[in-house]
Structure 1
Amino acid sequence: MSVTERREAVDEDVLRRFTVEHQAVRGRFVRLGSAWLALREHADYPAPVRRLLGEATAAVALLASTIKFEGELTLQMQGTGAVRLLVAQCTHDLKLRAVARFDERRVAEGFEALVGDGQLAVTLEAEGGARYQGIVPLGGGSLAAALERYFEGSEQLPTAIALAADDSQAAGMLVQRMPQSGGRAGADDSASLAAREAEASATLEATREALAGLAAGELLARPADELLQRACAGHDLRLQPVQSVAFRCRCSAERVSGMLRALGEAELDGIIAEQGAVTVTCEFCHRPWRFEAREVAGLFGGADRPVGGSGALN
Structure 2
Amino acid sequence: MSEGELRGRNRTQRFLFEEADIRGEIVQLEDCLADITAIHQYAPGVHQLLGEFLAAAVLLATTLKFEGRLVLQARSQGQIPLLMAECDNELNLRAIARGAQQATSDRFDQLLTGGQLAITIDPSSGKRYQGIVPLVEDSLAHSLDAYFRQSEQLGTRFWLACDGQRAAGMLLQQLPAQQVEDRVRRDAQWEHVNALAATLQPQELLTVSAPELVHRLYHEDPLRLFEPAPARFHCNCSRERTLKALSTLPREEIRELLEELGSITMDCEFCNQQYRFLEQDLDGILQSDDPGTLH
Which category of TM-score, normalised to the shorter sequence, fits these structures?
Answer: 0.7 to 0.9
Q: What is aligned with 2:216?
A: 230
In the TM superposition, 1:1-314 aligns within 5 A as 12-181=9-178, 193-211=182-200, 214-215=201-202, 217-256=203-242, 267-268=257-258, 270-272=260-262, 279-283=265-269, 285-289=270-274, 291=276, 296=278, 299=281
Letter in 2 for 1:287: N
Would the aligned equivalents of 2:46 and 2:103 in 1 still touch at CA under 8 Å? Answer: no
How far apart in 1 are the matches of 2:102 and 2:39?
Answer: 21
How far apart in 2 are the matches of 1:251 and 1:237?
Answer: 40
How far apart in 1 are the matches of 2:11 and 2:179?
Answer: 34
How far apart in 2 are the matches of 1:246 and 1:195?
Answer: 41
Would the aligned equivalents of 2:239 and 2:275 in 1 still touch at CA under 8 Å? Answer: no
Q: Which has the larger radius of gyration?
A: 1
How far apart in 2 are the matches of 1:20 and 1:252?
Answer: 42
Q: Which deviations, in whole Å up to 9, do the C-alpha atoms of 1:172-226 show, x marking residues without a partner?
A: 111122232489xxxxxxxx61353133223233233223xx13x3222111111
Structure 1 pair 224–278 and aligned structure 2 pair: CA distance change class (3 A): same
SS in 1 for 2:204: helix
SS in 2 for 1:105: coil
Would the aligned equivalents of 1:256 and 1:289 in 2 still touch at CA under 8 Å? Answer: no
Would the aligned equivalents of 1:165 and 1:220 in 2 still touch at CA under 8 Å? Answer: yes
Q: CA deviation at 1:288?
A: 4.2
Structure 1 pair 271–142 and aligned structure 2 pair: CA distance change class (3 A): same
Structure 1 pair 21–164 and aligned structure 2 pair: CA distance change class (3 A): same
Letter in 2 for 1:207: L
Letter in 1 for 2:114: D
Structure 1 gaps of 5+ residues are 1-8, 184-191, 302-314
SS in 2 for 1:218: helix
Would the aligned equivalents of 1:97 and 1:248 in 2 still touch at CA under 8 Å? Answer: yes
Q: CA deviation at 1:150?
A: 1.1
How far apart in 1 are the matches of 2:7 and 2:258?
Answer: 48
Q: CA deviation at 1:95?
A: 1.2
How far apart in 1 are the matches of 2:129 and 2:237?
Answer: 25
How far apart in 1 are the matches of 2:38 and 2:239?
Answer: 18
Output the TM-score relative to the length of structure 1.
0.77
Q: What is aligned with 2:3?
A: none
Q: Which deviations, in whole Å up to 9, do the C-alpha atoms of 1:89-126 show, x marking residues without a partner?
A: 11112112111123443531211011111211112122
Structure 1 pair 229–179 and aligned structure 2 pair: CA distance change class (3 A): same
Letter in 2 for 1:150: Y
Q: Choose 163-172 or 102-111, whichever is displaced more.
A: 102-111
SS in 1 for 2:165: coil
Q: Which deviations, in whole Å up to 9, do the C-alpha atoms of 1:252-290 show, x marking residues without a partner?
A: 345446667887677336325xxxx8642213x150416
Q: How many residues align?
A: 274
Would the aligned equivalents of 2:10 and 2:28 in 1 still touch at CA under 8 Å? Answer: yes
Output the TM-score relative to the length of structure 2.
0.81
Q: CA deviation at 1:155?
A: 4.3
Letter in 1 for 2:199: A
Percent identity between the two aligned chains: 36
Q: CA deviation at 1:151?
A: 1.5
Would the aligned equivalents of 2:108 and 2:138 in 1 still touch at CA under 8 Å? Answer: yes
How far apart in 2 are the matches of 1:58 and 1:101?
Answer: 19
SS in 1 for 2:102: helix
